[in-house]
Amino acid sequence: MGRNTRKRRSPLAVRAIAASAALAVAGGGLVWANFYASAGESKSKQNSTLASAQVATIDCPDVGQQLTSVPRKARKSVAKELATLDQQITAAYKRLADTRQAQAGDAGFVNNAILNPLESKRVATLDRIRINIRNAGGQTPQGMDQLATCQGVADQNQTNAGGGQGQNQGNNGQGQNQGNNNGGQNQGDNGQGQNQGDNGQGDNGQGQDQGGNGQGGNGPVAADFVDLTTVQPNGGPKGVGGNGLAANGDGGSTGTFTTSCGTNENENRNSDNVIVAPGVSNGAQHQHDYVGNQSNNAFASDQDLANADTTCQNQGDKSSYFWPVIRLQDGSNDIDANAPGGGQDGNVGQIVEPNQAELKFVGNKQGDVVAMPTALRIITGDAKSFVNGLNNANTNWSCTGLEDRVVTDKYPICPQGSSVVRTSFFQSCWDGQNIDSANHRTHVDFVEQDGSCSNGFQAIPQLQVRLVYDIPAPSIQNGQLQNAYAVDSFPDQLHKAITDHNDFINFFDQNTMNQVVDCINSGQDCQ
């Protein structure tokens, strides 16, 4: 069994003062300012043009996504260095949070005391990555030096104060939407939700959001939510930017295989990610729910995972299914309120377990599927999409009874009697050779609109995950958010709905995987 973060069964006292103090240190400046500046600002914009009071967060290039070719024997060491880059960003946030008074008196403070030292640390880490890759016989991509520089991101609520008229280009466009309480950017249904509420820290951890922010002061805000009954039917889960398309249809391989692995009743959680940060404790900086494989932590080898216990009813399925937890912003805290991955990384509130976790594999509308290889790793969605943009985003939020209406950049407010639904359709085209890739993306791909696989990839069973939560509906009163909920995130991602993601590692035994493929290709519905 891996390291777990388990909820206590007895009621937890609200640690309002302690949680607020921890967030003031660890929230990376998220307590004192809104965090809804434009993540799409030009990287070439000079930091010197930003007054210190405007700097809300820090935007650094995602180095891992640029490393598309890393020799296999260097990947573990490179992954540790990539985790170091994340840790450096978090330390810079803490510095930003601790020095607001100094920033107010010195317009160059953030640049000189935070961003420049951060760049120096990143240069050294990037050099170590180069050395590791070179020593393993590989080559690093050109332009690595440019990945060291981070930006201080402006707070749009300060630069565009007041209730000005905004622009909104509709469901698929990027626009600005500024109101009396919600200034900032708003990209509609398929865009990146960068919406601002008023400043505020919350009601000392009581969830009575004084300024539009959630319980931790670092999001979510009122503009991150939408009454789903006001959204027009749009066809159901569709992902973002062509990601997350359903692979199955009326033709091809029409069968399904459903595996029942529970809802994480035994509260198996940690803030590791063995896919992107093997060997690094708290590599994810947010908590994951795990179902299926019970030995998944940062230090688990493939042999450990293959020999693990499983919560799946079919004992031939020892695969690992994991996703970031959802927390209620109702004034309560969980056992990790002062721990890494929890309060120390700006993730506060009571973790809520899904009441349904449906794991289903489907076929391909163009033809048969082939067996997944053992230990195949797939990540769908992007935990850093608020900063990275939408290239890898794949989110679908809805409500039971209204699942023909999906939002991608908002959390749904569901009507009475309806539950929150998170849906993830995974990549289902495989390169036929690799169980992982250097950036954990290029060995798999999504199907094309017609269901075909491009670039010579092969169709594999598509994992579809549907999670259902009984969550009290948040309310918005006079622009203020009450009793919010949110997925855990990296500190700089502000608990945005667009950062939702899901992870899978295949450890079906060969006989069971053959049954999955036979069932799907023959058009049966099996479990």
pLDDT per residue of the chain (527 residues) written in tens, 0 to 9: 445 444 433 333 322 323 322 322 233 323 223 322 333 333 334 444 445 446 777 889 999 988 988 998 998 899 999 999 999 988 897 788 788 889 888 989 999 999 999 999 999 999 999 999 999 999 888 888 899 999 887 644 323 222 222 333 333 333 333 333 333 333 334 333 333 333 333 333 333 333 346 777 678 989 899 999 999 999 999 888 778 989 999 999 999 999 999 999 999 999 999 999 999 999 999 999 999 999 999 999 999 999 999 999 999 999 999 999 999 998 899 999 999 999 999 899 999 999 999 999 999 999 999 999 999 999 999 999 987 889 999 999 999 999 999 999 999 999 999 999 999 999 999 999 999 999 999 999 999 999 999 999 999 999 999 999 999 999 888 878 888 999 999 987 889 999 999 999 999 999 999 999 999 999 999 99
Q: How far is CA 393 from CA 439, 469, 486, 501, in A?
A: 15, 22, 17, 8
Q: What is the per-residue pLDDT for 208?
A: 33
Spatial contact of 329 and 518, defined as CB atoms under 8 Å apart: no
Q: What is the per-residue pLDDT for 97?
A: 72
SS3 state of residue 318: coil
Rg, the chain, Cα only: 22
Spatial contact of 508 and 516, defined as CB atoms under 8 Å apart: yes
| Cβ neighbours around 126 below 10 Å, total | 19
Q: What type of residue is 238?
A: K
Secondary element (H or E) of residue 125: helix 116-135
Q: Is the dihedral of CA 235, 237, 239, 242 positive or negative?
A: negative
Q: What is the per-residue pLDDT for 154?
A: 61
Select from 451, 499, 495 the least CA-distant residue to 346. Answer: 495
Distance CA 334, CA 267 (A): 12
Distance CA 395, CA 46 (A): 33
Put the strands of the sheet holding 429-430 in their side by side order.
444-445, 429-430, 458-459
Q: Is the dihedral of CA 100, 157, 216, 201 positive or negative?
A: positive
Q: Give the relative orientation of helices 75-98 and 116-135 as an angle to the nearest 10 degrees.
A: 180
Q: What is the per-residue pLDDT for 54?
A: 65
For residue 316, the 8-state DSSP code is T
| Cβ neighbours around 380 below 10 Å, total | 26
Distance CA 446, CA 429 (A): 6
